[in-house]
């Protein structure tokens, strides 16, 4: 594991530094889940909690949604929303729908969404990070903040996954 934030080949300026941070965050997540089996992934530690599988799908969904928002400058269409709804909002629907899958199922989706993110980021220049947009509620944001949020969200849910793993050990 590399503990340096640095430029990555194939990415311009600060985009390479952002990629470095995204890659580190993902590497730590993958290390945290590498030994989990399906029972572990589906474990719900208490009523109204999310499973590790649901959190992994949520992480992938956030990556996907931010691809659409930042690269395509639009919201999800009906088909995309239908595919990702449970993972985006978690809760009861996710508990009912996101289960009974092996770890590789989740890993494939995480890799697929992140590879697309990296491909799309490689096509952008540093100025793109600072492009400003305004949400419907009048709040300004830029692409850099949106991708920082993707990383921030993943790190937050990685902490939840670690907590669920501890609860899982105590339940055995």
CA distance 18 to 147: 8
- For residue 51, the tally of other CB atoms under 10 A from its CB is 21
Nearest to 63 by CA among 120, 122, 1, 128: 120
Q: Encode pLDDT of 123-146 as tens digits.
A: 999 999 999 999 889 999 999 999
Of the CATH numbers 1.20.120.450, 1.10.3720.10, 1.10.8.10, 3.20.20.70, which one belongs to the domain with range 13-171? 1.20.120.450
Domain ranges, ordered by start, for the chain:
13-171
Residue 172 has pLDDT above 80, yes or no: no
Q: What number is the average pLDDT over the span 61-68?
A: 98
The region of weakest confidence among 6-20, 49-63, 74-88 is 6-20
CA distance 103 to 33: 8
- The pTM score is 0.95
Residue 41: pLDDT band with limits 50, 70, 90: very high
């Amino acid at each position: 594991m590399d503990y340096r934030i640095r430029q990555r080949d194939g990415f311009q300026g600060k985009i390479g530094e952002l990629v470095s941070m995204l890659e580190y965050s993902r590497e730590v997540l993958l290390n945290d889940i590498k030994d989990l089996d399906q029972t572990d992934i589906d474990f719900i530690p208490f009523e109204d909690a999310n499973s590790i599988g649901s959190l992994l799908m949520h992480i992938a969904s956030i990556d996907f949604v931010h691809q659409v928002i930042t690269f395509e400058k639009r919201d999800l269409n009906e088909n995309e929303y239908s595919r990702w709804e449970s993972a985006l909002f978690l809760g009861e629907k996710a508990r009912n729908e996101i289960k009974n899958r092996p770890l590789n199922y989740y890993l494939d989706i995480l890799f697929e969404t992140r590879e697309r993110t990296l491909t799309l980021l490689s096509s952008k220049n540093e100025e793109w990070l600072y492009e400003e947009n305004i949400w419907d509620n009048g709040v300004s944001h830029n692409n850099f903040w949106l991708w920082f949020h993707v990383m921030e969200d993943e790190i937050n849910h990685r902490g939840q996954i670690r907590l669920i793993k501890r609860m899982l050990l105590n339940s055995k």
